[in-house]
Structure 1
Amino acid sequence: MYDGCHRSWCRPSEAASDRLDGASTARDNEKKQGSSVMKLSEIYLKHFASNDSRIRVAYELANIAKLLGLSNVDEVDWERFERADVIELMAMPAVRCRKPASQNFTLRILKGLCTEAYLNGLLAENRLEAIRNIRNVRGIRQTSRTVPTMNDVSAIIADCEKDGMIGIRDAAIFAVAVGCGLRRTEIVNLRTRDIDFEKHELRIIGKGNKERIIFFSESVSSKLDAWDKLRGNDGSAYFFVPVHASGRLLTCRRMNDETVYQMMRRRSMEALNRVVSPHDMRRSFASTLLDANVDLNTVRIALGHSDIRTTQIYDRRDEIERLKRISAIAVV
């Protein structure tokens, strides 16, 4: 059913339809022009400021193409693509099995690509408006993971510090993640000049190219300082850099955020026998502030959220206390 070659909006071969001869000729002319003709997907990706965002969106575009039965999204025939095709894709089991937020991310990327197709004269305005009016998936899912406690984090860091130079680096990453609530992309983009050890201050450039200042504790400072002494001032401006298997620092480039993600999963499994992700560290940071009765707006600023409703998702204190009272109900 979902074979891309049979979809109404998938470009057929030239022999399949004589009426598309004109379009085929236009495509042949594009090929003759060489690499100077930029693909629609390339134009769309240029809207994203950070390299990490472009990587994530490019991955999602590839996933969308796979669901559509295409080798890439540039094969879509925009003259035929319409609202029903988007609804059909969003109803596919491979999409419906995801969390609502993940489904909405796919829908947002699709809408953005359709907007780019319209702006480039490929998609009719009435079809774009119909696609834009597709509603987001409603609902939320409660995380099944337990927020790491400070004892958990201490155990992970202590285990890291037994592992030489790379362990010192990983301990510093865990410390800044749980002590400052940084996203993994913010961790790998942290530059040496953005750390003020005297003021215990970090300058962070977060989502949407927004800057914020985070202050860190003495314990976080000690972990950062230990890595800073090993890292030195050579190479790139990034604070966290890869370490070769031989133990040599690769100071010419920064770490990849996927490396941070996999490292945290591996280190936590070794120390706690369960997986902890960078976002779990961020939840732990938020929970620590909320438990200390820091007001929600301050937590919002510290996390770099634009909308306080996003921060409210982290605040389940009253809800949990109310739900715990159910256990006191005597049935017999």
Structure 2
Amino acid sequence: MEEYLSHLRVERGSSPLTVSAYTTDLCDYASFLDGRGVGDADDVDRACVVAYEADLVDRGYATSSVDRRVSVIKGFHRFLVREGYARRNPTDTLQLPKPPERLPDVLSASQVGAMLAACTGDGPPEMRNRAILEVLYGCGLRVSECTGLDLGDCILEEGYLRVVGKGGKERISPISGAALEALGAYLERGRPALAKPYAKPTAAVFLNVRGGRLTRQSVHAIVADAGRLVGVDNLHPHTLRHSFATHMLEGGADLRVIQEILGHSDISTTQVYTHVSRTHIREEYLSAHPRA
């Protein structure tokens, strides 16, 4: 397990969050096997894995969580065979059900505008929160990419951010308009007030009230609070990313351009927004056509 996790970190370039999740999943799997008296990789058969899958269901895990854990296990057993730690892969014939296609949640452009208009205040935390919301929606960043921004990543005079995405992959994200204005104002007047002289020096763009890097959990809370201002409960940062992509597509942006900005390695991931856009087109048709 340690070698596999090291492989994920070093060779695959998986993020610390991914490695942490895999560690939790594999430790739980190992504990289950230990309880069945299975201590060697070659003693694991298909029945063991199926029994573990059933155990997860009995413990109340959602179908998506069970599928994710089984997917982790399949990758682990492939690694064991490839590296010579096992002679066979007990998960070879184990099929994961195809998850039902689920369209992403998005806000309308008017909802986003109302939310941002409701986020007022000139204090440093308020300026920071406004900049976070503008950047999440204006640049389509993931929450981890937003909290991971450093001062050197903000090349505002040229209108772009250097973003480190999944697997440590870097990309350039354009920033302009309201997002550029809000981020510039925060860096000029808000961040200096949040940077405490007694705090450990950090290059992080977004700081907490103690002068340290803002956490993902804090950004989740900031976004959820902003959503409640316009009657949207449990608003998630990723919804702003989905909204960015959908509104870009509806505005005529090329799908490949959206893929590049979002940092998707596969165009099929980006294509989900074409389905959202079709829904928008149908709604527009039904509301506008006199005989629809």
> Do these two structures clear the TM 0.5 threshold for a shared fold by scoring above it?
yes
- Which residue of 179, 182, 189 corresponds with 2:138? 179
Q: How far apart are the structure 1 equivalents of 2:115 and 2:19?
A: 31
1:148, 1:276 within 8 Å by CA — same for their partners in 2?
no
Within a 5 Å distance, the mapping from 1:103-122 to structure 2 comes to: 103-118=66-81, 122=85
Match of 1:200 in 2: 159
Q: How far apart are the structure 2 equivalents of 1:166 and 1:52?
A: 27
Match of 2:238 in 1: 279
Structure 1 pair 43/151, CA: closer, same or farther in 2 (3 Å)?
same
Match of 2:102 in 1: 142
Structure 1 pair 132/153, CA: closer, same or farther in 2 (3 Å)?
same
Q: CA offsets per residue over residues 299-328 of structure 1, 9 Å max, x none? A: 111111111111111222235645898999
Match of 1:215 in 2: 174
User: How many angstroms does 1:216 deviate by?
Assistant: 1.3
Tell me whether 1:125 sits opposite 2:91 in the alignment.
no
User: How many angstroms does 1:256 deviate by?
Assistant: 2.5
Structure 1 pair 312/190, CA: closer, same or farther in 2 (3 Å)?
same
Tell me whether 1:78 sits opposite 2:44 in the alignment.
no
Match of 2:23 in 1: 58
Within a 5 Å distance, the mapping from 1:27-106 to structure 2 comes to: 39=2, 43=6, 46-47=9-10, 48-61=13-26, 64=29, 68=32, 77-91=40-54, 92-93=56-57, 97-99=62-64, 102-106=65-69
1:198 is paired with a residue of what secondary structure? helix
Q: Which has the bigger relative contact order, CA under 8 A and spacing at least 6? A: 2
2:9, 2:15 within 8 Å by CA — same for their partners in 1?
no
1:181, 1:303 within 8 Å by CA — same for their partners in 2?
yes
Match of 1:190 in 2: 149
% of aligned pairs identical?
27
1:200, 1:215 within 8 Å by CA — same for their partners in 2?
yes
Match of 1:154 in 2: 113
User: How many angstroms does 1:275 deviate by?
Assistant: 1.9
User: Structure 2 length as normaliser, TM-score?
Assistant: 0.78
Q: How far apart are the structure 1 equivalents of 2:103 and 2:278?
A: 17
2:97 partner amino acid: V
User: How many angstroms does 1:151 deviate by?
Assistant: 3.2
- Which residue of 123, 129, 132 corresponds with 1:164? 123
Tell me whether 1:226 sits opposite 2:182 in the alignment.
no
1:264, 1:276 within 8 Å by CA — same for their partners in 2?
yes
1:125 is paired with a residue of what secondary structure? coil
Judge which range, 44-53 or 208-217, deviates more. Answer: 44-53
Match of 1:304 in 2: 263
Structure 1 pair 211/119, CA: closer, same or farther in 2 (3 Å)?
same
Larger Rg: 1
1:172, 1:220 within 8 Å by CA — same for their partners in 2?
yes
Cα RMSD of the aligned pairs, angstroms, is 3.4
Q: How far apart are the structure 2 equivalents of 1:98 and 1:236?
A: 41
2:141, 2:262 within 8 Å by CA — same for their partners in 1?
yes
User: How many angstroms does 1:284 deviate by?
Assistant: 0.5
